[in-house]
Amino acid sequence: MQSVQHFGLKNHFLLAMPHLEDPNFAGSLSYLCDHDENGTMGVIVNRPLELTLDALFEQLELGGDESPHRDAPVFYGGPTHKDRGFILHRGSSDAWDSSIQVADDIALTTSMDILQALADGKGPEQFLICLGCAGWESGQLEAELKENAWLTVEGRAEILFTVPPEQRLGAAAGILGIDLNLMTREAGHS
């Protein structure tokens, strides 16, 4: 008898358990954008870099003088593809060249057209720009979940786009009614 795998973690938060010591993920809150038989992809959403959108616009020679978002932080999205931008935003994926719809009101775009729109003072009002992403091979995340390295909870746009970065992990844990500071490494098994 074959086991059936379920791929239902798209549009979920992945909360690092307090004992997770991997420097790429310790204390992180990731938002999962894709989860299927090929693996899982997401972005870390609570680690702003010492880089603003204005500096990114300048680096990419996009202008940006018209952007009301010039002071917005750029985030460390994860250890994979660190030279690529991943823009998580409210709204539809239809307006952008390379974009996927993650949830009804959340999309992930990787094309330059959205950055140019933001530099021009257009584009989505609510967004996070991440450099790099996080990825897990098929079955890898499921194994880490069984090892009690992560908690999962359905994603919420208001946590992504309105809660300050340093409070996002706690806000996501709050959905579950828990305080991560009180969690133990030991998983309960019956």
What is the mean pLDDT of the segment spanning 156-180?
94
Please tell me the predicted confidence (pLDDT) of residue 164: 97
- Taking the C-alpha atoms of residue 158 and residue 73, their distance in angstroms, rounded to an integer, is 17
Average of per-residue pLDDT across 79-107: 91
pLDDT at 3 over 50: no
pLDDT at 83: 86
pLDDT digits (tens, 9 = 90+) for 50-90: 999 999 999 998 887 878 888 999 999 999 998 899 999 99
- Going from the C-alpha of 42 to that of each of 29, 31, 57, 58, 77, the distances in angstroms are 10, 5, 23, 26, 8
Domains and CATH numbers, the chain: 12-179 (3.40.1740.10)
Q: What confidence score (pLDDT) does residue 124 get?
A: 92
pLDDT tens string 108-155:
999 999 999 999 988 899 999 999 999 999 999 999 999 889 999 999
- Tokens 């990787």 belong to which residue? 110
